[in-house]
Amino acid sequence: MRFVVEPMRLGDIPTVSAIERLSFPQPWPQSAYRREILENRMAHYVVARVLDAPAPVRASAPEPQPQSADRTEDGLFGKLQRLLRASADPTSGGAEDRGVVGYAGLWLMTDEAHVTTIAVHPQYRGKHVGELLLLHLIDHAISVGARWVTLEVRVSNEVAQALYRKYTFKEMGVRRRYYSDNGEDALIMWTDPLDSEHFRRVLEQNRAALRQRLTEAG
């Protein structure tokens, strides 16, 4: 099974929205992603496409199952995101692209790259799609001159935390009752400096290992 990571297009939004509803208890409206793509110069959003297998069928009204990821909803980044979403009505976003099985986003502010969201369709979790998306975000952060990558993650999301720690993310604090759906705390995690020798070594080791796993998988 082969995957490719590409910039998110307007036509991807309906499928992204379907994965969003499967992944988060409070999904963004489709218009929020339209605004991110068209208006937010700080944002970088991508999708993962499956190249040689049918993507999952988009559900019309799935029950939320928040298992795959977390995203920023507080502090400066959260306030800016809420402003972007304010008074936004859902829109179609264009034709559905059934090849999309995951997506991710990053905001760059000064020298910090903030991961805003990562999610993978339930049928494709455990196939390294989330790691592939994270690796792309890190590469993009390096290419635009960021010095660190930071994010928030639910304290209960141990799977995501393990992936982040693999890429040198470390817990730097806790945001109490950060998630409004259930009042759960969030861990604040930061990478080592992106230009440090240790980080670059870890990054290339993980890249090679991921390439090997994806090759062995098909």
DSSP string, 149-209: EEEEEETT-HHHHHHHHHTT-EEEEEETT--TTT---EEEEEPSPTTSHHHHHHHHHHHHH
Q: Is 164 a catalytic residue?
A: yes
CB-CB neighbours of 37 under 10 Å: 19
Give the pLDDT of residue 66: 36
Residue with tokens 């304010």: 86
Residue 1 vs residue 3, higher pLDDT: 3
The helix (H) or strand (E) run that includes residue 14 is: helix 13-23
Distance of CA 156 to the CA centre of its chain: 17
Please give the structure tokens belonging to residue 98. 């059934």
Give the pLDDT of residue 85: 43
Say if CB 104 and CB 46 are below 8 A apart.
yes
Give me the catalytic one of 36, 73, 96, 152.
152
Our count of domains for the chain comes to 1
Spatial separation of the C-alpha atoms in residues 173 and 44, rounded to whole Å:
25
Residue 87 vs residue 145, higher pLDDT: 145
Please give the structure tokens belonging to residue 12. 């991807």
Give the pLDDT of residue 63: 39
- Across 91-117, average pLDDT: 80
Residue 90 vs residue 42, higher pLDDT: 42
Give the pLDDT of residue 52: 75
Q: Is 152 a catalytic residue?
A: yes
DSSP 105: E
- pLDDT tens digit sequence for 12-71: 999 999 999 999 999 999 999 999 999 999 999 999 999 876 666 554 444 333 344 455
Band (pLDDT 50/70/90 cuts) for residue 185 is very high
Give the pLDDT of residue 181: 87
SS3 78: helix
pTM of the model: 0.82
Q: Would you say residue 198 has pLDDT above 90?
A: yes
Give the pLDDT of residue 1: 78
Give me the catalytic one of 45, 164, 178, 179.
164
Range of the domain at 194: 3-216
Please give the structure tokens belonging to residue 153. 């993650």
Q: Say which CATH number the domain at 41 has.
A: 3.40.630.30
